[in-house]
Amino acid sequence: MDVFSKIDTLMQTDLAKYAAVGHGYLSFPKLEGEIGTRMHFQGKEVLCWSLNNYLGLANHPEVRKADADAAAQYGLAAPMGSRMLTGNTNYHEQFERDASEFVQKEDTFLLNYGYQGILSIIPAITDRRDVIVYDQLSHACIIDGMMLSLAKRFVYAHNDMAQLEDRLQKAMRITEQTGGGILLITEGVFGMKGDTGKLDEICKLKEKYPFRILLDDAHGFGVMGKTGAGTGEHLGVQDQIDLYFTTFAKSMALIGAFVSGERKIIQFLRYNLRSQIYAKSMPMPIVIGALKRLELLRTRPELRENLWNVVRNLQNGLKDRGFDIGITNSPVTPVYMKGTDIEAMHVVRDLREIHRVFVSGVTYPVVEKGVIMLRLIPTAIHTQADIDYTLKAFEDIAQKLQTGYYAGKMPVLGSIEQ
């Protein structure tokens, strides 16, 4: 059989099914222009709530200048080679020192990418004797990382502490025979629902069970906690997080990531992460840009304060109007509505074309059948006027949904004149 013969069937399932009806619109849309709250979609200006630019750093003037100056000085080639062989610099090491201090850990390893980073961390620190226990809603990079590991795996229902304890007991029975250890993996902020991992309760379980914690805090770093050091700081357990991992893709608006922890563990990872050992070192402009962004995280608390003001006003405004935003306790703001996949397409189209509000829509299999989830990402640079306008737009499409306006209609995806 031809290895490609199954492609036609696979393209009718899961996310691939949207390729036939929404490529370039629902999936792979093009947002153009300067990154910010106002961008262009299919030639028309839209109010954008879909970028993980939490602190507004993507177009911050100091950030843009640091990026441009570094690119002019070094270009994108330097340093050449892998970090281990010829690609190490003082700037790479400076970032690691600064990040360690910020997240309150002994040492840090700078990573080229978040996805590939955690993909390598998990198999590097586990083997066939070990057991991994992980939250059901863990990000795809965690799932893929576990697939590369020889460790046995147990999943627990999202934030279900009773089931987690059951899984830890099962893991202990195995490791007592194999002589291995237990790695617990969870997230600081879950990117779809917006709720935080129950890190404080998880850490209490350390008193009963011998496990280590690997935390993916991509949506918490720079946003959660008194100083922005993350969800561990927010919940008062930062010192009990054994491996703290985060990406630059959210609050820092950049490519890259880092992992922090005990010095001897980080040094082990430096010499054992295949995605770093066998890859070119992070280009100098990105490293210098990361240093500037980290500096702003540390010295400009008003950025985080502005973000949280926007978050509170948006989320309270939605709740006051009867919208269901679930259990979020972070800036991630999901709005749940009842409707079919077809109605979801109508909703997204009306928001983008009639109201010029750009949000991302999510349906089954990401959420339950019959549920439409619209995910909004507030940023520090949104205004109260943006919030007020968006709330009115949501009231309009909610009323249409409730009255059956979209039912039975086939959406024509694409721009319309208004």
Residue 77: which of 230, 284, 379, 309 has the closest Cα? 284
Handedness of CA 335, 340, 345, 351 (dihedral sign): negative
pLDDT at 417 exceeding the cut of 50: no
At the fourth CATH level, the homologous superfamily of domain 7-54+301-402 is: Aspartate Aminotransferase, domain 1 (3.90.1150.10)
Which regions of the chain carry the CATH code 3.40.640.10? 78-299
The kind and range of the H/E element at 30 are none
Helices in 104-189 by DSSP H: which ranges? 114-125, 140-147, 161-178
Q: From CA 381, how far away is CA 64, in angstroms rounded?
A: 16
Residue 362 — very low, low, confident or very high, per pLDDT cuts 50/70/90?
A: confident
Instruction: Please tell me the predicted confidence (pLDDT) of residue 416.
Output: 46
Instruction: For residue 184, list its beta bridge partners.
Output: 133, 213
Q: What is the 3-state secondary structure (H, E, C) of 187-240?
A: ECECCCCCCECCHHHHHHHHHCCCEEEEEECCCCCCCCCCCCCCHHHHCCCHHH
Residue count (the chain): 418
Amino acid at 99: A
Q: Report pLDDT digits (tens) over 284-305.
A: 999 999 999 999 999 999 999 9
Confidence of residue 413 (pLDDT cuts 50, 70, 90): low
What CATH number does domain 78-299 carry, 3.30.70.260, 3.40.640.10, 3.40.50.720, 3.40.50.1260? 3.40.640.10
- The pair of three-digit structure tokens given for residue 351, joined into one six-digit string: 């928001």
Q: What is the mean pLDDT of the chain?
A: 94
Single-letter residue type at 235: L
Strand, helix or coil for residue 375: strand
pLDDT at 418: 40
pTM of the model: 0.94
pLDDT digits (tens, 9 = 90+) for 35-55: 999 999 999 999 999 999 999
Closest CA to 399 of 339, 311, 342: 339
